[in-house]
């Protein structure tokens, strides 16, 4: 069994196919999984990448987060999700903005594969199906521009700065989408660290939160907007952290990942200590 204390999913993006497989092999003992996204889909394809990951030396296949966000009519998404689920990823995502019909079609497709096809395709674990809420590369102004946020006049709210009000508005939208995902039977959501605590409060602790937009303290944000450090994300309630360039572009990717794992372990220990302290007081 993979160490449950490992919470980092390393994004194998922004590199060649050979580099991605080599990176997975280098980091496999220290990760919760690896993420393959559109770069791999549009280049070598999902099946080839999954086959290569399955052939890495080690006691078990590295868990894969298939980050493809299929967005289409319900029937098309259903068929795509069945094909993807049969390849055996541990996590699959689908955009919440596709609406209830699409989300429920994705849920049914994954369930059907697990119930009817898992022995034929050698599946050993039912994949988590998670809903993508709002990309962490989008901020308040981006969401207002595309019409997902329309309220204005935050500066007029007494005692609340425009920045705080805007962050709250984005958080409310993310939580609303996470609740939609939960009502459609999904297992969790992809969301920023700043929304994680509110999502757990609304959806329960068993609803998994996968958080991208993770950056080390002092590092460049790149194309991310709603960012957090690994410790901040864990403290906020994130279950898994998706981290790409801060690890894969580091001079020593393994040492960087081990440092992040140490920060995650410390944050988890503080979290557990807080829970125990609360239990003693109550």
Q: What is the mean pLDDT of residues 17-33?
A: 93
Active site residue 69: yes
Distance between CA atoms of 140 and 180, rounded to whole angstroms? 21
End-to-end CA distance of the chain: 35
Cα–Cα–Cα angle for 264, 208, 174, rounded to 5 degrees? 100
Q: What is the pLDDT of residue 1?
A: 46
Q: What is the mean pLDDT of residues 256-278?
A: 81
Indicate the length of the chain as a whole number.
282
- pTM equals 0.90
Band (pLDDT 50/70/90 cuts) for residue 50 is: confident
Catalytic residue among 6, 35, 69, 101: 69
Q: What is the pLDDT of residue 44?
A: 83
Q: What is the mean pLDDT of residues 269-280?
A: 61
Beta strands in 33-74 (DSSP E): 33-36, 64-66
Using the predicted structure, report yes or no on whether residue 157 has a pLDDT greater than 90. Answer: no
Alpha helices in 208-252 (DSSP H): 230-236, 245-248
Using the predicted structure, report yes or no on whether residue 104 has a pLDDT greater than 90. Answer: yes
Phi and psi dihedrals of 102, rounded to 5? -70, -40
**Residue keyed to tokens 């194998």:** 12
Element (H, E) at 75: helix 74-85
Strand partners of residue 129: 92
């Amino acid at each position: 069994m993979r160490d449950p204390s490992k919470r980092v999913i390393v994004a194998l993006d922004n590199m060649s196919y050979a580099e991605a497989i080599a990176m997975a092999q280098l980091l496999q003992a220290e990760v919760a999984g690896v993420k393959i996204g559109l770069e791999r889909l549009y280049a070598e394809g999902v099946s080839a990448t999954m086959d290569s990951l399955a052939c890495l030396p080690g006691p078990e296949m590295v868990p894969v987060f298939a980050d493809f966000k299929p967005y289409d009519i319900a029937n098309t998404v259903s068929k795509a999700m069945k094909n993807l689920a049969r390849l055996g990823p541990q996590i699959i995502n689908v955009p919440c903005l596709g609406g209830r019909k699409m989300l429920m079609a994705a849920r049914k497709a994954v369930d059907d594969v697990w119930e009817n096809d898992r022995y034929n395709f050698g599946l050993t674990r039912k994949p988590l199906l998670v809903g993508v809420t709002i990309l962490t590369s989008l901020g308040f102004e981006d969401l207002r521009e595309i019409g997902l946020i329309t309220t204005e006049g935050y500066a007029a709210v007494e005692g609340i700065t425009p920045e705080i009000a805007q962050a709250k508005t984005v958080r409310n939208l993310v939580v609303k989408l996470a609740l939609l995902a939960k009502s459609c039977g999904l297992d969790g959501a992809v969301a920023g660290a700043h929304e994680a605590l509110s999502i757990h409060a609304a959806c329960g602790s068993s609803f998994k939160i996968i958080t991208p937009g993770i950056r080390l303290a002092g590092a460049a944000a790149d194309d991310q907007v709603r960012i957090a450090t690994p410790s901040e994300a864990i403290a906020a309630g994130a279950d898994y952290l998706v981290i790409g360039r801060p690890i894969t572009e580091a001079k020593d990717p393994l040492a960087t990942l081990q440092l992040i794992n140490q920060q995650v372990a410390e944050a988890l220990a503080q979290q557990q200590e807080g829970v125990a302290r609360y239990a003693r007081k109550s």
